[in-house]
Amino acid sequence: MSESAVTARRRRRTAGLAVGAGALGLLLATGVLAVPCPFKLLTGLDCPFCGGSRMLGALLAGDLGRALDLNAFALLVVLPLAASMLIAGVLRDFLAVRIPGPGRTAGMTLLVLLAAWSVLRNLPFEPFLVLRA
């Protein structure tokens, strides 16, 4: 491997570590600080991630039931997806394991799920009222 390729690989690893550390810090900060949602402040509607910071706080405190109540979608879909992306990045960048990307279908499916979750949690009648943050 040439010296420039080794240097480029080191830069990618350093950038990956910086992004991962920043993401972890942000995750912990939002879980502790419980920042209000700007979308909800402007519209009065819950966005797909409303309750997410309180969900993280409950999860960090070990209260899985409360975390599930605050934002089930973020807990059951977004966090596992983020964890799998982080693990895949570590495997790819640090262990040189080739991992195929999720593909366009997975991204579109996630967008459809986010849209459906947004609509369902804002419906003003039972049984959807329980989905509000």
117, pLDDT greater than 70 = yes
Q: What are 39-50's pLDDT values in tens digits?
A: 888 888 888 888
pLDDT digits (tens, 9 = 90+) for 11-60: 766 776 777 777 766 666 655 555 677 888 888 888 888 888 788 888 88
37, amino acid identity: C
- The pTM (predicted TM-score) of the whole model is 0.63
What residue type is assigned to position 76 of the chain? L
Task: Look at the chain and count its residues.
Answer: 133
